[in-house]
Amino acid sequence: MKKLVCAALLAGTAIIAASSANAAGISISFGDVGLAYSDGYYDHSHHWHNWRSGEWNRYRHDHPGHYNNWRHDDRHHGHH
């Protein structure tokens, strides 16, 4: 019975922590990134977005094949 109570408490703590993080705007979802650059990204509807704090580094690490390590307006790499 103690194990069941501890498991329930731990699960509740994880849910509270997750919802607190989402309420603070820490949720990161990269499902709508079409083309990514060091200064931001285009979504699949071709709208430009600047990276929020920490997003670019996480995206670059998690999706290296879909990240361009230059600014989107870098004339040496062409314009999109």
Is residue 71 in a domain?
yes
Q: Consecutive sets of 10 residues in the chain, 80 residues long: mean pLDDT of each?
A: 50 43 49 89 93 91 90 78
Residue 24 falls inside a structural domain: no
- Domain assignment present for residue 27? The answer is no
Which pLDDT score, from 0 to 100, does residue 76 have?
84
Residues 43 and 33: beta-carbon distance below 8 Å: yes
Q: pTM above 0.85?
A: no
* DSSP strands (E only) in 1-80: 33-37, 40-43, 48-49, 67-68
Is 10 inside any structural domain?
A: no
What confidence score (pLDDT) does residue 38 get? 93
Tell me whether residue 15 is in a domain: no
* Angstrom distance (rounded) from CA 36 to CA 33: 7
Residue 47 lies in a domain: yes
| 64 occurs within a structural domain | yes
Rounded distance between C-alpha atoms, residue 4 and residue 11, angstroms:
11
Query: Can you give the residue range of the structural domain that contains 46?
Result: 33-80
* 42: in domain: yes
Structural domain count of the chain:
1
